[in-house]
A and B are shown apart, each in its own frame.
Chain A
């Protein structure tokens, strides 16, 4: 069964360093998302991406964040200068249609720890 894959599963980084979280969405999906979940808190929307551009982003997704689809398969989230409060589980998701019409499929997540 096709699935969304994320790498790495766990990343530890020094505060101020740049990190890139990688995702391979399901191949025939057209809509891509990043969400995050701070430990013990709700899942929060970060950004959605369609047709090679950001379609929506939340207040969390400030200038420190960027997304890219560098080739036909990868979808990356970059945090330019990590802060302690960026420590969270980051989930990538994809859907074949716009989320209003269908479910999203999530990866297993990348646990980011900023020290």
Chain B
């Protein structure tokens, strides 16, 4: 089955800088979703981008999708300490299941 894979696995940046995380997947998708997980907590939906969309914005978040490269990126601009979390991409497969990547652990240093 298809599988989202994020890179980098971990990212540590200074507060105020931009953070970029990437996700690659293997098969065709209907949509790709990004989620955030604070340590030991639940998954919070951030943004959904459909296969016919190339870019989407939500506040300080910008997601791009390149279906020819089977990849997506999540950009967080002007990062804050509260953005410290793990970020996951998930794709929807033909069985209507969310297939998750291993996540990127983002640390924002004050």
Residue positions of A touching B, CB distance < 8 A? 33, 35, 41-45, 48, 55-56, 58, 89, 91, 93, 98-109, 111
Contact = CB atoms under 8 A, between A and B. Distances in A.
B45 A100 contact: no
A41 B88 CA distance: 12
A104 B48 CA distance: 10
B97 A106 contact: no
B33 A91 contact: no
A22 to B, nearest CB: 15
Contacts of A108: 41-42
Contacts of A107: 42
16 contacts: A35-B98, A41-B102, A42-B100, A42-B102, A44-B100, A89-B40, A91-B42, A93-B43, A99-B96, A99-B97, A104-B33, A104-B45, A105-B45, A106-B35, A108-B41, A109-B42
A43 B88 contact: yes
A84 B57 CA distance: 42
Q: Chain B: interface secondary structure? A: strand
Interface of B: 30-31, 33, 35, 40-45, 48, 88, 90, 92, 95-103
Contacts of B41: 108-109
A56 B42 contact: no
Contacts of B30: 100-101
A6 to B, nearest CB: 8
A98 B45 contact: no
A102 B48 contact: yes
A106 B95 contact: no
Contact of A55 (B35, B92, B96, B99): B96
B45 A45 contact: no
A100 B98 contact: no
Contacts of A101: 30-31
A45 B100 CA distance: 9
